């Protein structure tokens, strides 16, 4: 089954969270769907979400606990019932200077606490235009997943999100996305053998109800990570269907 993950970023009021889940609860269809609201709304989302939806976070600290004002630990996320965390989203890399090495520490921390991780990778427009897409993505995998030896089945997911396609309305063509997904699959296999080969790969970048089917039809695309189109329940359900 394909996995659709919604990243709400810094959006949604309490009332909008309630309205979203009211509509999801009214649907008779069931899919595998995950949603990452703002951290403050995780508790509310957990109360309201139907059983087929898992709730997670958009970020976590690389530290266990302690004097890190403003941070949220993976242990706390796990404790309140979150089941996954996004690591290395391009907005975190670009706006908060997160490096591959920092991502590696966050991934280790999240896995240690029993959360699933969606590790985001992807090239900028300049990197794509200078032919460096695969180089960049492979480096993000090698450095972000450094020191990792094992994880529970399904606990590690990789999302390929070309930076030029996020929130821009520009989508990678299904063939462009498939090419990179195949390269990611091979690199994961090279790094982690069979375990690497079994990692689910999501595509992200302006996925909408009208382009999702072609993307999901590609052999190495196992699901989608969706920003804008995940905010409205109707669109999110259309994506899942």
Task: Give whichever of 7 and 133 is closer to ligand PEP, judged by the CB atom.
Answer: 7
Active-site pick, 62, 91, 127, 161 = 161
Helix intervals (H) in the chain: 14-26, 42-48, 74-80, 90-95, 100-112, 125-129, 133-144, 174-197, 212-216, 233-240
The answer to whether 137 and 161 are in contact (CB under 8 A) is no
- The Cα–Cα gap between 102 and 107 comes to 9
Whether 62 is catalytic is no
Nearest distance from C-beta of residue 170 to ligand PEP, angstroms: 9
Task: Give whichever of 39 and 191 is closer to ligand PEP, judged by the CB atom.
Answer: 39
Active-site pick, 89, 98, 123, 187 = 89
Nearest distance from C-beta of residue 166 to ligand PEP, angstroms: 4
Whether 63 is catalytic is no
- The Cα–Cα gap between 241 and 45 comes to 21
Task: Give whichever of 161 and 187 is closer to ligand PEP, judged by the CB atom.
Answer: 161
The answer to whether 208 and 215 are in contact (CB under 8 A) is no
> Given the rule CB under 6 A, which residues bind ligand PEP?
7, 161, 166-167, 204-207, 225-229
Catalytic machinery residues: 89, 161
């Amino acid at each position: 089954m394909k996995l659709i993950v919604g990243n709400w970023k810094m959006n949604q009021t309490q009332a909008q969270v309630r309205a979203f889940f009211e509509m999801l609860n009214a649907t008779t269809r069931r899919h595998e769907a995950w949603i990452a609201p703002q951290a403050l709304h995780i508790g509310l989302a957990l109360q309201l979400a139907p059983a087929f939806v898992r709730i997670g976070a958009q970020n976590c600290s690389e530290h266990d606990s302690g004097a890190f004002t403003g941070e949220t630990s993976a242990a706390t996320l796990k404790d309140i019932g979150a089941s996954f965390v996004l690591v290395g989203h391009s907005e975190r890399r670009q706006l908060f200077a997160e490096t591959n090495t920092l991502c590696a520490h966050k991934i280790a921390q999240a896995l240690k606490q029993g959360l699933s991780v969606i590790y985001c990778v992807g090239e900028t427009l300049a990197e794509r235009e200078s032919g460096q897409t695969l180089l960049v993505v492979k480096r993000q995998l090698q450095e972000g997943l450094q020191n990792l030896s094992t994880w529970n089945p399904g606990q590690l997911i990789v999302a390929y999100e070309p930076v030029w396609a996020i929130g821009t309305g520009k989508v990678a063509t299904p063939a462009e996305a498939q090419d990179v997904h195949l390269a990611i699959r091979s690199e994961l296999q090279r790094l982690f053998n069979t375990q690497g080969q079994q990692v689910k790969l999501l595509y992200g970048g302006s996925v909408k109800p009208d382009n999702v089917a072609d993307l999901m039809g590609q052999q190495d695309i196992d699901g989608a990570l969706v920003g804008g189109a995940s905010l409205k329940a109707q669109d999110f359900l259309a994506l899942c269907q």
